[in-house]
Amino acid sequence: MRISVIGCGYLGTVHAAAMASLGHDVVGIDVDRRKIAELAEGRAPFYEADLPRLLDEETRSGRLRFTTDFAAATGAAVHFICVGTPQRAGDDAADMAFVNAAVDALVPHLSPGDVVAGKSTVPVGTVAALRERIDATGATLVWNPEFLREGRAVQDTVAPDRLVVGIPDGADGERAGDRLREVYAQARARGGPVRGTPGATTELVKIAANAFLATKISFINAMSEIAEVAGADVAELADAIGCDPRIGRSFLNAGIGFGGGCLPKDIRAFAARAEELGTGHSTRFLREVDAINLRRRDHTADLVADALGDVAGRRVTVLGAAFKPNSDDVRDSPALDIAARLRSLGALVTVTDPEAIGNARRVHPELSYEPHLETALLGAHAVLVATEWEQYRHLDPERARELASGRVIVDGRNCLDADAWYAAGWDCIRMGRPALRHPAEERVLVGAGTL
């Protein structure tokens, strides 16, 4: 089937490549000429596992091409809208400018019987607001939200755990539903069920899911704050309550909090939209979810400073810049935020990351970056694990001790073998868990201070 994908950012590029890999004839369209030139050569403009291979194979096969010309959408049976909905400048609401611009540019190229499928995360009410423009062309508008996990986005597209589609009532809606079932035939065979829901419900599904996940993360981080004061272990707490199938263990890992381009802005947009609808009291709790999450960043910087006694002039190595492993995405990254806060306290901060240094440097050019892990560790008085890349999880504490000057490691993701680090002579500071510290007389002297 011929498919157009409007918007070739993270979502659109993955979706276009995955649809081509399922055998469809796909054109990706975006206004960014440099991005399109890179994609046309089969190169991914961001890091995502398995995407470079897919782009290379599908552009070579001819099933996938990219252009800035919206006229290339003419003749496609299904048009996916995959543009971003960032937080609007000046308030918490979602900025719909890209969605509206995409629809305006696409409308002249639609034909009766076409299906326009929105995948962007949008405020409830968006479908109703857009429908008149789409209906006037004889095309049918449906909403089909994405549920991608960065680092697993290709897999989540070709073998999704569920497909949610909001289709209108009537014959046109039935035809649109049949068309999408055809598009996703292979994905449905590999993945989970298809759920057809009313339009407003479909708009709520993605943002409600993100709100729930954010709430679960902030809940365990709030418990972490209590555990630290009470002398409890938040990981054991999470294991115990996670045994209850009504709660579950996933997303109950205490740490420095969530970031990225979805959860933070989505919960703010959700709360803002609820207020516009006169139901702001229903999402008021999301303000506290957001506050708990942001508080983790100050708390982590304080843990590093407290462990060193005086952070000013001390060398701190931050392991990780991306908001999560297996990604180069630094949007609202807790790791970079904490690094900047430590720098503001006078620390000499070095950030390292396997993939995200280029993006990080554009956001925080004032920080120092080192791509090589061992070089980044040289002379460090303290080390902070801020992104749980596998190479950081399995870092040899003995080798790290040879490179560093100090013996303080702050495990911001609770992902290390703390006993192994302690046995190697490190003071291991954990999130919501008892710290493992050596007696003062056993600590290594560094300069005039005692670590």
User: Structural domain boundaries of the chain?
Assistant: 2-196, 198-451
Work out the mean pLDDT of the chain and round it to a whole number. 94
What's the rounded Cα separation, in Å, for the pair 426 and 419? Answer: 9
Instruction: Provide the terminal-to-terminal Cα distance of the chain, rounded to the nearest Å.
Output: 64
Contacts of 390 (CB under 8 A, 6+ apart): 325
Structure tokens at 179: 């068309």
Instruction: Using a pLDDT cut of 90, give the percent of the chain over it.
Output: 92
Checking if the pLDDT of 130 tops 60, the result is yes
Q: Which of 387, 449, 447 is nearest to 412 (CA)?
A: 387
**Angle 338-344-349 from CA coordinates, rounded to 5°:** 60
- Which residues make beta-bridge pairs with 116? 79, 141
What pLDDT was estimated at residue 447?
A: 35
Q: How much of the chain is helix, strand and coil, in % rounded to 5?
A: 45, 15, 40
Spatial distance between the Cα atoms of 325 and 151, rounded to a whole number of angstroms: 7
pLDDT digits (tens, 9 = 90+) for 260-295: 999 999 999 999 999 999 999 999 999 999 999 999
Establish whether 262 is a catalytic residue: yes
Query: Crossing angle, helix 284-308 and helix 334-344, to 10 degrees?
Result: 50
Supply the pLDDT for residue 361: 98
Could you identify the residue written with the tokens 């993939």?
355
Given the residues 8, 82, 243, 262, the one annotated as active site? 262
What is the average pLDDT across 413-428? 97
Longest dimension (CA), the chain: 80
CA distance 441 to 445: 9
Per-residue pLDDT tens over the stretch 341-378:
999 999 999 999 999 999 999 999 999 999 999 999 99
**What's the CA dihedral at 75, 80, 82, 83 to 10 degrees?**
50
β-strand partners of 20: none
CB proximity list for 238: less than 8 A, separation 6 or greater:
220, 223, 249, 252, 253, 254
H helix intervals, 171-283? 171-183, 185-190, 199-230, 234-242, 263-276
428 contacts 383 by C-beta, under 8 angstroms? no
Convert the pLDDT of each residue in 13-33 to its tens digit: 999 999 999 999 999 999 999
Token code pair at residue 404: 């560093």
**Parallel, antiparallel, or unpaired for β 382-385 and 315-319?**
parallel
Question: pLDDT band at 198, cuts 50/70/90?
Answer: confident
Per CATH, the number for 2-196 is: 3.40.50.720
Contact 166, 197 (CB under 8 A): yes
Smallest Cα–Cα separation from 204: which of 122, 261, 82, 118? 122
177 pLDDT more than 60: yes
User: Looking at the predicted structure, is the pLDDT value of residue 206 above 80?
Assistant: yes
Q: What is the distance between the alpha carbons of residues 114 and 133, in angstroms, rounded to a whole number?
A: 13
pTM of the model: 0.92
Q: Is 269 helix (H, G, I), strand (E, B) or coil?
A: helix
- Cβ proximity of 111 and 173 under 8 Å: no
Could you write out the DSSP letters of every residue in 335-400? HHHHHHHHHHTT-EEEEE-SS-HHHHHHH-TTSEE-SSHHHHHTT-SEEEE-S--HHHHT--HHHH
CB of 155 closer than 8 Å to CB of 326: no
Query: Sorting pLDDT into bands at 50, 70 and 90, what band is 187?
Result: confident
Q: Is the pLDDT of residue 449 over 60?
A: no
Q: pLDDT at residue 53 above 60?
A: yes
Give the model's pLDDT for residue 326: 94
Tokens for 283, please give them.
Answer: 């999402």
C-alpha to C-alpha distance for 148 and 322, rounded to whole angstroms = 17
Question: What topology does CATH give the domain 198-451?
Answer: Rossmann fold (3.40.50)
SS3 309: coil
pLDDT digits (tens, 9 = 90+) for 96-107: 999 999 999 999
Report residue 444's pLDDT band, with 50, 70 and 90 as the boundaries: very low
Tens of pLDDT, residue by residue over 207-227, are: 999 999 999 999 999 999 999
Residue 72 — φ and ψ, nearest 5°?
Answer: -65, -15
**For 109-128, what is the mean pLDDT?**
96
Contact 367, 343 (CB under 8 A): yes
- Same topology, domains 2-196 and 198-451? Answer is yes
pLDDT on residue 450:
37
CA angle (374 as vertex; 370, 376 as ends), nearest 5: 35
